[in-house]
């Protein structure tokens, strides 16, 4: 949700006003900054999404945050964005057209299948958009009511405000849901994963940090109730980790953790450092989906079955003992021959089984090489500049460079609980927005072409 | 493997001509690549050759060229070995390598014009050694003992007289079953396996069948192949099988008992005509009736004409004799929703359609014509009109 990202954006704006010394003094010397952990809500409600859709004279706005949110609005997905709204409207129109066609016209079977598939995709979006329109209508009514109220009717005003609040909440959720619907699902989202951490540049310090991060993910897995099993780990003499892998099984494991893949940078005074200088080191995280049980079903038409052709009329006219069968999978060219049985139909069954096993193996191999590729991309060169996130201990701050957000209280973050979860969700939202924006842009271009 | 091959090479039991007879290209190739890997620096250029002839020629070329460069000089060329082995083969008291026996008989069959010479020799050898097919044997391992050799020679003599392989071995496979084959009872063809496959799929689709009984009538059961396959695959099925010849009825009964399916099978020797009465109705009538036209009877191979019962083959001037009877009598024997399944000549489906159009009183409808593996229309499904 936009608020979540803005929350940290807002915090950033406030933050530089406090010097590190100030922070230390607030936290009582422990480097912790407890009161910031649950900031008062009033701080964090900078701008509501539909603020511009409805006139709100009584709105309290923190000015600093507003400038930020306006900037954010232009490059992210949001319902106030005219382009978004236009895109959604277009989807709704298309949905209407599809359903009309489905109900009325005579169609071929393939056409029917295509339309049904499209409708299944569009239906939730259409429904949500209708819901948004309804909620907006309700909100407009409440605004009218509020404007018409006399000063004395406080009770009525309170009620109206309460209702407005709840509708605004609904809007937040709706925007969230629409965003999720617009993002195309990753095929591997449901898969289990293999998490791999490798120390990058920075020697022993990098290994120590790798160990910290790995521990963070272990705790995060526990927090998420995932089943985690450490597969390999290679420790260094100082208690760091050169390299470790773990398999994680659980709901949405890949969906969430795939965002953690990349180079993580740490800036701190290492334990190994004697003169107190701050070092910068890196470690990399790779997240690879494990292959699921693949459907062993291939279309019958993909196979060409060859048998020894009987010359002449066949059937009772001939008595051939030749029972060899050869099956070719046309798309891949994989061929299997079987002649160990005297019954042709048995040979055919065996050959079919064999070829399916071969094709399955092939698919697995392909998946494996794809994973290999994904791993290489994620690992990158482990240089200091390719980072996705920085852990700055001296400022007690975590910065995610993709979404451009900061979070404070590093120790809490490294526990791998709420904070990490929020960070991941924020980044996810951010990336989703970017992705949807891209889709919308492409759509606009396509529409123009048409 | 390396050890074995070396031993084989040294003891000269292994010679190139023998290998050329390897029934399975795949096996040959596998063998070859092993050889290649262990003995020779030259590799076979071609990919997996599936055409037997390609395989042989390609194989020979590279084998020869490998040989010429080979360090194994103690391997004599095939020409030398051939003459030597001819003598060994003639001497009945001596052991002989399986491959040599096979290649010898393949040549004999070829000269005598016996069809499928290589397959025949291989099936016989495999049978004597206790295997179902040649590709299951590792050909390098074993020599034929004198006793086995006599057996092979005896059986191959029969083949020289054009006896079908199935009769020579006395047994053959039909789908998942192994059936006894005895002359002159008709030998089930691979097409009939497909007929059962189509019927099986048809019955599978009908989900309600699972609880219900399945009553099947087979007309012209021969060795009992169709009925026994159905009984084996549908535990709730009961079959009645009829045939006009005594030998067929006895063989079906024998096969049923051998497979332990006798309790659900009722075999009757009878003419399938209007007087046929079974006291019950059937879900399915299935038949592989004689369907060869009189004009075609003369063109049949010697194996068929000389050994198989003509009444299992000859279907009258247009091959429709028994087919018409089955339609005429069968429609009364079907339960509502029942069907008749027939294997026929490729010309027959159209004729059956015309026949049914002219005889609407049978209430039968040709609802499915299926092709066999040679893409000829071969199987007909006739359903009772609702």
Sign of CA dihedral B124, B129, B132, B138: negative
Residue contact B173–A310, C-beta within 8 A: no
Residue contact A319–B301, C-beta within 8 A: yes
**B25 vs A contacts (CB less than 8 Å):** 337
Closest chain B residue by Cα to residue A311:
B374
Answer yes or no: do B342 and B193 share one domain.
Answer: yes
Q: What are the two backbone dihedrals, phi and then psi, of residue A322, each rounded to the nearest 5 degrees?
A: -60, 120
Answer yes or no: do B362 and B226 share one domain.
Answer: yes
Residue A170, min C-alpha distance to chain B (Å): 49
Nearest to B303 among A312, A319, A326 (CB): A319
Answer yes or no: do B117 and B214 share one domain.
Answer: no
Residue contact A314–B135, C-beta within 8 A: no
Q: What is the CATH number of the domain that holds B192?
A: 3.40.50.150
Nearest to B292 among A307, A317, A343 (CB): A317
In a domain, B228, yes or no: yes
Give tens-digit pLDDT for B206-220: 756 566 788 999 999
Work out how many CB contacts closer than 8 A connect A with B.
Answer: 102
Check if A343 contacts B (Cβ < 8 Å): yes
Going by their DSSP bridges, the two strands A279-289 and A193-199 should be labelled as: antiparallel
Nearest to A342 among B173, B189, B301 (CB): B173
Nearest to A309 among B25, B164, B374 (CB): B374
In a domain, B128, yes or no: yes
Give A162 or B8, the one with higher predicted confidence. A162
> By CB neighbour count within 10 A (0-12 exposed, 13-18 middle, 19+ buried), where does B261 fall?
buried
Check if B94 contacts A (Cβ < 8 Å): no
Chain B stretch 348-377, residues whose beta carbon is closer than 8 A to a beta carbon of chain A: 372-374, 376
Give tens-digit pLDDT for A224-246: 999 888 877 788 878 788 888 88
Nearest to A313 among B197, B346, B373 (CB): B346
Which of B169, B191, B207 lies at the terminal end of a domain, its last residue? B169
Per the residue annotation, which of B117, B139, B164, B289 is the catalytic one? B289
Check if B27 contacts A (Cβ < 8 Å): no
Is the pLDDT at A413 greater than 60, yes or no?
yes
Instruction: Provide the whole-model pTM.
Output: 0.54
Answer yes or no: do B151 and B130 share one domain.
Answer: yes
For the residues A171-181, what does the mean pLDDT come to?
83
Quote the pLDDT of residue B64: 37
Q: From residue B73, how far is each of B10, B12, B66, B92, B209 by CA, in Å?
A: 10, 12, 11, 30, 68
Task: Give the total residue count for chain A.
Answer: 450
CA A190, CA A19: separation in Å to the nearest integer? 44
Q: Catalytic: B51?
A: no
Check if B171 contacts A (Cβ < 8 Å): no
Give tens-digit pLDDT for A251-260: 888 888 888 8
Contact criterion met (CB below 8 Å) for A414 and A426: no
Q: Which residue has the tokens 């994904």?
A: A374
Which of B113, B140, B169 lies at the terminal end of a domain, its last residue? B169
Residue contact A345–B290, C-beta within 8 A: no
Give tens-digit pLDDT for B288-326: 999 999 999 988 988 999 999 999 999 999 999 999 999
CA A99, CA A92: separation in Å to the nearest integer? 11
Neighbours of B37 (CB within 10 A): 12
Per residue in B228-256, is it b (16+ CB within 10 Å) or e — as a string? Answer: bbbbbbbeebbbbbbbbbebbbebbbbbb
**B342 vs A contacts (CB less than 8 Å):** none
Q: What percent of chain A has pLDDT over 90?
A: 13
**What SS3 state is found at B108?**
helix
Answer yes or no: do B209 and B100 share one domain.
Answer: no
Answer yes or no: do B191 and B160 share one domain.
Answer: no
Residue contact A319–B291, C-beta within 8 A: no
Prediction ipTM score: 0.74
In a domain, B70, yes or no: yes
Q: Which of B24-28, B150-154, B290-294 has the lowest mean pLDDT?
A: B24-28
Closest chain B residue by Cα to residue A308:
B374
Give tens-digit pLDDT for A322-371: 888 999 999 889 888 888 788 999 889 888 877 877 787 787 778 777 77
Closest chain B residue by Cα to residue A324:
B24
Instruction: Name which of A310, A318, A319, A334 to mutate to probe chain B: the one with the most chain B Cβ atoms within 10 A of its Cβ.
Output: A319
Contact criterion met (CB below 8 Å) for A403 and A43: no
Residue contact B304–A317, C-beta within 8 A: yes
For the residues B342-370, what does the mean pLDDT come to?
93
Which of B169, B195, B222 lies at the terminal end of a domain, its last residue? B169
Per the residue annotation, which of B109, B134, B186, B379 is the catalytic one? B186
Average pLDDT of chain B to the nearest whole number: 78
Sign of CA dihedral A360, A363, A364, A365: positive
Residue contact A326–B50, C-beta within 8 A: yes
Residue contact A343–B175, C-beta within 8 A: yes
Quote the pLDDT of residue A233: 78
Instruction: Name which of A303, A309, A321 to mutate to probe chain B: the one with the most chain B Cβ atoms within 10 A of its Cβ.
Output: A321
Give tens-digit pLDDT for B1-10: 445 444 444 4
Quote the pLDDT of residue A358: 79
Radius of gyration from C-alpha coordinates of chain A: 30
Quote the pLDDT of residue B192: 94
In a domain, B174, yes or no: no
Contact criterion met (CB below 8 Å) for B53 and B78: no
Q: Which of A196-210, A403-417, B84-98, B299-313 has the lowest mean pLDDT?
A: B84-98
Residue B342 bridge partners (DSSP): B287, B380
Answer yes or no: do B85 and B226 share one domain.
Answer: no
Quote the pLDDT of residue A17: 36
Quote the pLDDT of residue A101: 83
Give A251 or A2, the one with higher predicted confidence. A251
Quote the pLDDT of residue A383: 54
Check if A346 contacts B (Cβ < 8 Å): yes
Residue contact A315–B345, C-beta within 8 A: yes
Chain A stretch 320-339, residues whose beta carbon is closer than 8 A to a beta carbon of chain B: 320-323, 326, 335, 337, 339
Residue contact A318–B26, C-beta within 8 A: no
Residue contact A340–B132, C-beta within 8 A: yes
The per-residue DSSP string of B302-366 comes to HHHHHHS-GGGTB--TTS-HHHHHHHHHHHHHEEEEEEEEEE--TTHHHHHHHHHHH-GGG-EEE
Q: Where are the alpha helices (DSSP H) in A250-339?
A: 253-257
**A322 vs B contacts (CB less than 8 Å):** 116, 119
Check if B67 contacts A (Cβ < 8 Å): no
Contact criterion met (CB below 8 Å) for B175 and B193: yes
Answer yes or no: do B323 and B299 share one domain.
Answer: yes
CA A397, CA A412: separation in Å to the nearest integer? 11
Q: What percent of chain B has pLDDT over 70?
A: 73
**A336 vs B contacts (CB less than 8 Å):** none
Q: What percent of chain A has pLDDT over 70?
A: 76
Residue A120, min C-alpha distance to chain B (Å): 29
Top mean pLDDT of A285-294, B23-32, B127-136 is at B127-136
Give A253 or B51, the one with higher predicted confidence. A253
Radius of gyration from C-alpha coordinates of chain B: 25
Residue contact A342–B133, C-beta within 8 A: yes
Structure tokens at B297: 């009877």
Residue contact A314–B376, C-beta within 8 A: yes
In a domain, B379, yes or no: yes
Check if A344 contacts B (Cβ < 8 Å): yes
In a domain, B274, yes or no: yes
Contact criterion met (CB below 8 Å) for B99 and B18: yes
Answer yes or no: do B186 and B271 share one domain.
Answer: yes
Answer yes or no: do B144 and B8 share one domain.
Answer: yes
In a domain, B374, yes or no: yes
The candidate with the shortest Cα–Cα distance to A183, out of A445, A441, A434, is: A434
Q: Catalytic: B289?
A: yes
**B291 vs A contacts (CB less than 8 Å):** 315-316
**B53 vs A contacts (CB less than 8 Å):** none
Per residue in A324-335, is it b (16+ CB within 10 Å) or e — as a string? Answer: bbbbbbeeeebb
The per-residue DSSP string of B200-258 comes to HHHHHH-GGGGTS-EEEEEES-TTSHHHHHHHHH-TTEEEEEEESSHHHHHHHHHHHHH
Answer yes or no: do B159 and B233 share one domain.
Answer: no
CA B280, CA A279: separation in Å to the nearest integer? 94
Task: Give the total residue count for chain B.
Answer: 386
Domains of chain B: total: 2
Q: What percent of chain B has pLDDT over 90?
A: 51
For the residues A49-70, what does the mean pLDDT come to?
36
Answer yes or no: do B96 and B245 share one domain.
Answer: no
Residue partners of B71: CB distance under 8 A and separation at least 6: none
The candidate with the shortest Cα–Cα distance to B229, out of B252, B245, B247, B206, is: B252
Closest chain A residue by Cα to residue B297:
A317
Q: Which residue has the tokens 């909100």?
A: A139
Is the pLDDT at B252 greater than 90, yes or no?
yes
Q: Which residue has the tokens 């194996």?
A: B303
Check if A311 contacts B (Cβ < 8 Å): no
CA B219, CA B202: separation in Å to the nearest integer? 19
Structural domain boundaries enclosing B146: 2-169
Determine the Cα angle at A296 with ends A295 and A299, to 5°.
Answer: 100
CA B155, CA B304: separation in Å to the nearest integer? 18
Quote the pLDDT of residue A72: 40
């Amino acid at each position: 949700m936009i608020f979540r990202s803005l929350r940290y954006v807002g915090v950033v704006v406030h933050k530089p006003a406090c010097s590190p010394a100030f922070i230390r003094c607030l936290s009582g010397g422990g480097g912790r900054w407890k009161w910031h952990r649950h900031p008062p809500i009033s701080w964090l409600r900078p701008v509501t999404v539909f603020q511009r859709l409805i006139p709100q004279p009584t709105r309290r706005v923190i000015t600093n945050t507003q400038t930020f949110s306006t900037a954010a609005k232009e490059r992210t997905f949001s319902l106030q964005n005219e382009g978004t709204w236009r895109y959604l409207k277009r989807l709704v129109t298309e949905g209407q057209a599809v359903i009309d066609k489905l109900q009325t016209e005579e169609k071929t079977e393939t056409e029917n299948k295509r339309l049904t598939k499209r409708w299944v995709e569009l239906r939730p979006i259409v429904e949500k958009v209708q819901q948004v329109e309804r909620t907006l209508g309700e909100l407009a009514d409440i605004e009218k009511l509020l404007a018409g109220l006399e000063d004395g009717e406080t009770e009525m005003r309170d009620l109206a405000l309460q209702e407005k609040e709840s509708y605004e909440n609904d809007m937040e959720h709706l925007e969230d849901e629409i965003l999720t619907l617009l993002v195309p699902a990753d095929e591997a989202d449901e898969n289990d994963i293999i998490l791999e951490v490798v120390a990058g540049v920075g020697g022993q310090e990098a290994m120590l940090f790798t160990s910290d991060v790995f521990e963070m993910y272990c705790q995060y897995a526990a927090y998420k109730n995932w089943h985690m099993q450490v597969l390999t780990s290679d420790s260094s003499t100082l208690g760091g980790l050169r390299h470790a892998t773990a398999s994680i099984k659980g709901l949405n494991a890949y969906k969430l953790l795939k965002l953690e893949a990349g180079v993580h940078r740490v800036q701190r005074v290492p334990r190994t450092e004697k003169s107190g200088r701050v070092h910068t080191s890196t470690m990399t995280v790779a997240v690879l989906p494990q292959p699921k049980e693949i459907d062993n079903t291939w279309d019958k038409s993909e196979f060409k079955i060859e048998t020894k052709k009987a010359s002449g009329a066949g059937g009772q006219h001939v008595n051939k003992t030749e029972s060899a069968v050869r099956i070719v999978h046309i798309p891949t060219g994989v061929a299997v021959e079987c002649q160990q049985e005297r019954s042709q139909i048995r040979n055919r069954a065996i050959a079919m089984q064999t070829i399916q096993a071969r094709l399955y193996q092939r698919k697995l191999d392909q998946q494996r090489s794809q994973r290999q590729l994904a791993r290489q991309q994620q690992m990158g060169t482990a240089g200091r500049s390719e980072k996705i996130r920085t852990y700055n201990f001296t400022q007690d701050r975590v910065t995610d460079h993709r979404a451009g957000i900061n979070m404070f209280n590093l120790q809490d973050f490294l526990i791998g609980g709420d904070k990490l979860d929020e960070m991941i969700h924020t980044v996810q939202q951010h990336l989703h927005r970017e992705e949807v924006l891209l889709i919308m842009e492409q759509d606009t271009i396509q529409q123009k072409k048409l | 493997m390396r050890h074995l091959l070396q031993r084989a090479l040294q003891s000269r039991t292994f010679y190139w001509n023998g290998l050329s007879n390897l029934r399975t290209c795949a096996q040959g190739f596998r063998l070859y690549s092993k050889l290649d890997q262990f003995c020779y620096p030259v590799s076979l250029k071609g990919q997996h050759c599936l055409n037997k002839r390609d395989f042989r020629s390609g194989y020979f070329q590279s084998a020869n060229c490998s040989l010429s460069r080979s360090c194994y000089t103690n391997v004599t060329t095939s020409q030398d070995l051939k003459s030597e082995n001819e003598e060994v083969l003639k001497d009945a008291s001596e052991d002989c390598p399986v491959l040599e026996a096979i290649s010898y008989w393949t040549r004999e069959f070829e000269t005598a014009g016996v069809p499928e010479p290589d397959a025949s020799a291989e099936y016989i050898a495999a049978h004597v050694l206790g295997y179902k097919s040649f590709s299951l044997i590792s050909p390098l391992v074993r020599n034929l003992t004198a006793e086995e050799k006599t057996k092979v020679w005896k059986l191959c003599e029969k083949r020289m007289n054009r006896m079908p392989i199935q009769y020579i071995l006395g047994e053959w496979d039909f789908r998942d079953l192994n059936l006894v084959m005895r002359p002159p009872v008709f030998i089930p063809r691979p097409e009939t396996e497909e007929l059962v496959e189509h019927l099986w799929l048809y019955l599978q689709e009908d989900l309600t069948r699972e609880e219900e009984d399945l009553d099947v009538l087979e007309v012209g059961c021969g060795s009992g192949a169709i009925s026994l396959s159905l009984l084996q695959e549908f535990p709730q099925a009961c079959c009645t099988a009829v045939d006009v010849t005594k030998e067929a009825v006895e063989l079906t009964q024998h096969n049923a008992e051998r497979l332990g399916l006798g309790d659900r099978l009722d075999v009757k020797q009878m003419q399938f005509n209007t007087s046929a009465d079974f006291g019950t109705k059937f879900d399915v009538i299935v038949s592989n009736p004689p369907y060869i036209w009189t004009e075609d009877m003369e063109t049949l191979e010697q194996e068929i004409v000389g050994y198989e019962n003509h009444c299992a083959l000859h279907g009258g001037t247009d091959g429709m004799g028994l087919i018409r009877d089955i339609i005429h009598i069968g429609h009364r024997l079907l339960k509502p929703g029942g069907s008749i399944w027939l294997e026929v000549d490729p010309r027959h489906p159209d004729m059956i359609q015309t026949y049914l159009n002219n005889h609407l009183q049978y209430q039968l409808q040709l609802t499915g014509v299926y092709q066999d593996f040679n893409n000829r229309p071969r199987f007909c499904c006739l359903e009772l009109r609702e």
